[in-house]
Amino acid sequence: MYPIVSVEALNSEVTRMEIFAPQVAKKIRPGQFIMLRIDEKGERIPLTMNDCDPVAGTVTIIFQQVGATTIRLASMLPGQAIQDFVGPLGNPTELDGVKRACVIGGGLGTAIAYPQAKWLHDHGAEVDVITGFRTKDLVILEKEIAEVAAWHKVMTDDGSNGNKGVVTAPLQERIDAGAGYELVSAVGPIIMMKFVALTTKAAGIKTLVSMNPLMVDGTGMCGGCRVKVGDQYLHACVDGPDFDGHLVDYDDAMRRGVAYRKFENAARERCLWAAKAEKIEEQQEAHDRLAETELEGKVGE
């Protein structure tokens, strides 16, 4: 069992959780992920490391409440424990030797982009960070990124933070201004990574993208996480999750990404209804206890 050390809601959709997993904390690096299972009947889900503390023995994950497991996970409290926390899995992001880079995070992908930027900063690189969100209320890790980035730009779809647009706009501006990037690393929605790769390809900049397709076991056995890279299919869990952004077939990845959407939505609805039923039951029990207390008081009179 792996105890939960802390839980924090970063916004209405996203939760940060610190797990005590000393063996994983000693070895995990930016880009790698873990497979967790809440209990023996739960499904396995992959979550990429957001931070780690080898001394304290903790690994931090950030996740969005989008499915049955993540909704349930977000409701857990410090002191509780999860059944399985397996890792590190996948390959670390190839950052060694890079002195000038731009790291791009889209939405929840910012949680994965941050440890890359932090690692680069800690190893003497100058790193710019661009992040994008639907609205200012969903912005995460702005303070943490400011501590490691030489320059940071936050974009929002609706312009609610004063910077309306997509992440490729400031990326193109920086490239045109002679930023001299050796590497661009992008993590986020597939469509975002596709256009980042198109932007950097024209400039001849090495680009890595982090692919997060459906995974079952995280060891390459299930075959569910296949990603078309160039003329071959590779497994994101063992060959990635980072791939050459100029070779990934993004259209194929998007088609595969929605293949099980109907089943995912059904599982999410079941989880939400179960949570509502549990809350109603708790309210009814509280009402019954109050009624019993009032009745005992009247009898005592």
Quick check: 288 pLDDT over 90?
no
- Mean pLDDT over 5-19 rounds to 95
- Mean pLDDT over 25-51 rounds to 93
- For 253-272, the pLDDT digits (tens) are 988 766 555 655 555 565 55
Long-range contacts of 138-145 (CB under 8 A, 24+ apart): 138/11, 138/13, 138/14, 138/107, 139/11, 140/10, 140/11, 140/14, 140/62, 140/110, 140/111, 141/10, 141/110, 141/111, 141/114, 144/114, 144/118, 145/110, 145/114, 145/117
Residue 140 burial (C-beta neighbours within 10 Å; 0-12, 13-18, 19+)? buried
Confidence of residue 16 (pLDDT cuts 50, 70, 90): very high
Looking up tokens 């003497």 gives 124
**Domains of the chain, CATH where assigned:** 2-89 (2.40.30.10), 100-257 (3.40.50.80)
Mean of pLDDT over the chain? 89
Q: Residue 127's pLDDT is what? A: 97
Q: What is the largest CA-CA distance in the chain?
A: 86
- For 190-202, the pLDDT digits (tens) are 999 999 999 999 9
